């Protein structure tokens, strides 16, 4: 295990992997966190620092340390989110970090292309994971999300497997700098309604099941 935002820990992770296995072929940046839920202007500096440290800086560091060891045809896969394309109400800092990760994917793809390394990303929708339990374990929230999703359900981790395997395979050798959306169609309609006090209250009720609740330590749609 390694702290996703610790340069020394990530450098040691890569060095240990190379020493043990002799090479690195595929890098997957899947670590993410979100200690703030609420209006973006209510976020503290510490929230921004933690979210970007893990969600963006950590992905950069792992790519930086692993790239020299990747062979031609090597792969870097970043796990972004649909919230990197459209803001999630109450998750503005997280959305901003995932948008940054999508751009990091494109920049790395451009700069590593001469080495024959492909860099792509997955943008999951709402996936049933331990980190997103605050969403899918609340019946009202789950019903709301399923109602907005054309596929009629929340995703499972297995829904990402085939896409991840494709990005890790030789079949994606002519694809780089792209982000595959795996969301059951939820981004087809978007969510651009005007925020209001009543809507904020409804969102908090769906997420927390009560009018006044502490912010969840981690709420991750698509990570």
Residues ≥6 apart with Cβ < 8 Å to 20: none
CB 171 within 8 A of CB 177: no
Residues ≥6 apart with Cβ < 8 Å to 59: 29, 31, 78, 101, 104
Q: Where are the beta strands (DSSP E) in 91-174?
A: 118-124
Q: How many helices (H) and strands (E) does the chain have?
A: 8, 4
State the catalytic residues.
94
Distance from chain centroid for Cα 52: 12
């Amino acid at each position: 295990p390694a702290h996703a935002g610790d340069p020394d820990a990530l450098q040691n992770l890569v060095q240990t992997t190379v020493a043990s296995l002799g090479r690195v072929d595929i890098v997957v940046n899947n670590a993410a966190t979100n200690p703030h839920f609420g209006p973006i202007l209510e976020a503290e500096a510490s929230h921004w620092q933690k979210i970007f440290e893990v969600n963006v800086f950590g992905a950069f560091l792992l790519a930086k340390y692993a790239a020299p060891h990747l062979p031609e045809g090597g792969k870097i896969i970043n796990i972004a989110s649909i919230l990197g394309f459209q803001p999630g109400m109450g998750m503005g800092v997280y959305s901003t970090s995932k948008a940054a990760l999508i751009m990091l994917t494109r920049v790395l793809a451009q700069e590593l292309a001469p080495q024959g390394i492909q860099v792509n990303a997955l943008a999951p929708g709402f996936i049933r994971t331990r980190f997103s339990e605050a969403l899918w374990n609340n019946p009202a929230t789950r019903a709301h999300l399923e109602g907005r999703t054309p596929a009629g359900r929340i995703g499972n981790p297995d829904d990402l497997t085939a896409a991840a395997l494709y990005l890790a395979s030789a079949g994606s050798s002519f694809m780089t700098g792209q982000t595959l959306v795996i969301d059951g169609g939820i981004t087809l309609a978007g969510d651009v309604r005007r925020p209001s006090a009543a809507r904020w209250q409804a969102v908090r009720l769906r997420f927390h099941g009560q009018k006044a609740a502490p912010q969840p330590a981690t709420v991750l749609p698509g990570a």
